[in-house]
Each structure stands twice: as structure tokens, then as C-alpha cells.
Amino acid sequence: MYRFAPSPTGDMHIGNLRAAIFNYICSLQDKSGFILRIEDTDKERNIEGKDAEILEILTKFGIKWDTLYYQSKNLKFHRELAAKLLMDKKAFLCFCSDEDIAKKKELAKEKNIAYRYDGTCEKLSDEEVLNCEKPSVIRMKKPNKTMSFIDEIKGEISFEPENIDSFVIMRTDKTPTYNFACAVDDMLEGVDFVIRGEDHISNTPKQDLIREYLGYTGKFRYAHLPIILNEHGTKMSKRENSSSVKWLLETGYMPEAIANYLIMLGNKTPYEIFSMNEAVEWFDIKKVSKSPAKFDIDKLSQINREHIKRASDERLAQLFEMPIKFASLIRFYTQESSLIGEIKDKISHIYSPKHIQGEYENEMKILKEAILKLDYKDSFDEFKKALMSETSLKGKKFFMPLRLLITGKEHGPELSELYDFIKNDIKEII
């Protein structure tokens, strides 16, 4: 069972979407099922409406989940299982105040050593715990052995107990931390393969430890995906526009193209242009590169153009929100632009009323009148000849006003090629 577990705390990052796509593809390959879990336990960071946005984005990409969970619905189990860990003495109550911890962290920093919890409250007797009125968190006891796991991409990864530390699993307000909620939910929901970003590598031994202490023996497989770098070679931050899936969609990239690009990123694929369903046939999570991948928006644009060309008429009509009769014209316009919005803009200029003004005002008037009188001409050659003889215009004084009259723009595709797509509407568009 696979899962995608986004937090509704901001715009979806392409790194998250890549994790969603990889999980989904793998779940289709071994037909084991795919869970969508909205990790909404951090109330302060949740943003209203972001959960609905996640569902909407995944739907746009054709990603279908078998079950949808909201993590906050499992709060009862998080509390019960934390209590069990306390009773089994695998976890302990910690009364250290935030100020105490902050001071100790400061001290560690001065000594240039990494801060680790010093075990103060682990040593308290049952009586001392019972008599303490201060607010408390629950901490796991750090493991007494090296924790290792095999990563499908990176190989074996080990963590020493000090680097796992006695970490907090329940906050003072009795809400679970990310590691605890995530470990418990993955266990309860029957997940056994976790694909996520490599920024979670240090969480993996903690989550394994939680389940081990709870007595769970189910095996987990992991694949941690390398980070995505920007064109300067540094980590793509949430603030960069192109890291936001919403921004990419709004800018005019097709979901099919974004998915294609993210599957290709840091991966060897048998073809350059493919659909997610095609990728199910050959995708191999083990073959994803260990090293970070560089995001290249120009490459994405090129892939977008190819997907516009190969999309069905119905799909283009839906994506461009235009009548289906424009499908071929949309494909034709990929020679001018690779973005949905830009292509749409150019086509709508053709079909908008033209301003007969400027340097060629006179010629435009003459041409318009002549076109209105002209019989239907099947080829641009016939159209041009008839129009030239009717108006006696030629050269730039013929072509430029004609282009302005047809496209509303000074530059654009060859009129001789464009004509085929618009000849039936010629009298309406001028």
C-alpha cells in the first residue's frame, strides 16, 4: 500500500507532486492501492482551503486515490498509543520548559556541539512524575542500537542512537508531532512502501522506532527522492514561482506535460514524451538517480508543446476552454508558443474585432471590403490572387494590412499556412 501525505500548509511544491506521481505509478504497477492522507494535525500551520486545493490538483493530474484520510481524525489513536508507550516505559513524560531547552540549545551552540536531549526527565521516579504539576510533553526513549533501513534509491542508511535522540511525540496540548502521527497512521492504514522527499530521511528511523516500540512487525520499504534544484544549482525554495504546481498550471503548462517532466527529471526514460499511464509500463523507482535533479523550465516548455500537439481535440477544448473546432488551430500555434495562455491569447486576437487604424488603415479598409465581397477560396494562393487583383495592392502594403486584419498582430505564423485553419471563418474574423 502506497500513500501521499501532504500537509495543507501552502501551495503544493513540485517535489511533493513528484512524490505523489511516483507513489501513484508504483501503486498501479503492483496494484496494491493508494491512500491520500491530509496531514492536518498542525493546526497553527494549516491554511483553510488548501486540502480542497490538493484534491483538485491531484484530480487535474489524473491521480486517483482509493481512500482519503484526514490525519486529525486519528487523534484518538495517537493519544491511546502514546499512552501505551508510556505504560510500556518506551516513552516518558518530560516537564522541561521551552526556556530550559532553549538555554541548553544555546549552550550546545556555544560549545559548537549538536544539541541532544540530556535525559533529565527520563530519570524521574514515578513519584516525582505523579507530583509534578507542570505541563508535559511525551518523549520517546532513544534507541539503544543503530537503526538502519534500505532505501530503494540510496541503498542502506544507518543512524546512531544519539542522532535519533529522545524526540517528542506528543506536545503539551496533547497533539501528536509529525513523526508520531505519520508513523502511527502508516501502520494503521496498512502502508508498506513510503516514497517521499529526501528531506525526510532523518525521520525514517524515528518512525521505524515508534512502530517497533509499539510492537508492530510489518515491514516497510522506502524510497527517498533527491531534491530538485533551481537553475542556479540551489534547492528550489517554496518562494520560487516555478516550484509551485498551481503557478505552473496557471502559467499554461498542461498536467500531462508537468507529470512527464517530473517523471523524466533525474531518471532515464525510454522515450522523451509519454503519459503517466505509459510510464506505468516501464517506470522503475530503483532507477531514479541518487543525485539532485536540476529543474529546467525551458525543457518543460518544450515538453508542453509536444503534449499540446498530441492531445485529443476534446482534451484541447477542455484545457483551452475553447470550442472543439479550434483544436487544429491550437496545435498549429505551438510553432509560436508553448504555453496555453499565450496560444489562447493569439487565437482570441484572430477572433476579436480588429482596430482599423494606424499606418495601414486605408489598406485595411480596402482589403476588408474586398474580402467581404469575395467568394469562398479553398487555397491561400487563390485567395491572395483574387484579393490582389481586386485591390491592386501588393508587397508590404498588401501583406501587412492583411496580417493585421486576420491576426490582429504584426508578427505571427505564415499567412499561407494559417489560412487553411481559418478560411471558413474569414468573413467573420476580419
Q: What span, in angstroms and rounded, lies between the C-alpha atoms of 168 and 261?
A: 38
As annotated, the binding site for ATP includes 238
Q: CB nearer to ligand GLU: give 6 or 401.
A: 6
Q: CB nearer to ligand GLU: give 8 or 252.
A: 8
Q: What stretch of H or E contains 92?
A: strand 91-94
Q: CB nearer to ligand GLU: give 39 or 256.
A: 39
User: Can you spell out the DSSP letters for 191-208?
Assistant: --EEEEEGGGGGGHHHHH
Residue 280 C-alpha cell reads as 506505468
Q: Which stretch binds ligand GLU (CB under 6 A): 1-9, 223-231, 337-345, 378-386?
A: 1-9
Cβ proximity of 138 and 85 under 8 Å:
yes
As annotated, the binding site includes 238
- Within 13 A of 196's CA, how many CA atoms are on the CB side? 18
Q: Is 185 in the site for ligand GLU (CB under 6 A)?
A: no
Q: CB nearer to ligand GLU: give 7 or 136.
A: 7
Given 6, 176, 255, 401, the residue binding ligand GLU (CB under 6 A) = 6
Query: Closest approach of Cβ 38 to ligand GLU, in Å?
Result: 9
Query: Closest approach of Cβ 280 to ligand GLU, in Å?
Result: 21
Given 18, 139, 200, 344, the residue binding ligand GLU (CB under 6 A) = 200
Q: What span, in angstroms and rounded, lies between the C-alpha atoms of 41 and 46?
A: 8
The answer to whether the Cα torsion of 178, 184, 185, 186 is positive or negative is positive
* Helix (H), strand (E), coil (C) string for 51-62: HHHHHHHHHHCC
Given 18, 78, 139, 196, the residue binding ligand GLU (CB under 6 A) = 196
* Helix (H), strand (E), coil (C) string for 126-141: HHHHHHCCCCCEEEEC
Query: Closest approach of Cβ 31 to ligand GLU, in Å?
Result: 21
* Phi, psi dihedral angles at 152 (to 5 degrees): -65, -25
Query: Closest approach of Cβ 1 to ligand GLU, in Å?
Result: 13
Query: Closest approach of Cβ 396 to ligand GLU, in Å?
Result: 58
Cβ proximity of 251 and 301 under 8 Å:
no
Query: Closest approach of Cβ 7 to ligand GLU, in Å?
Result: 4
Cβ proximity of 86 and 93 under 8 Å:
yes
Residue 208 C-alpha cell reads as 521505524
Query: Closest approach of Cβ 23 to ligand GLU, in Å?
Result: 9
Cβ proximity of 166 and 141 under 8 Å:
yes
Q: Is 39 in the site for ligand GLU (CB under 6 A)?
A: yes
Residues touching ligand GLU: how many (CB under 6 A)?
A: 7
Q: Is 7 in the site for ligand GLU (CB under 6 A)?
A: yes
Q: Is 182 in the site for ligand GLU (CB under 6 A)?
A: yes
Q: Which stretch binds ligand GLU (CB under 6 A): 4-12, 82-90, 146-154, 411-419?
A: 4-12
- Please give the residue ranges that form the binding site for ligand GLU (CB under 6 A): 5-7, 39, 182, 196, 200
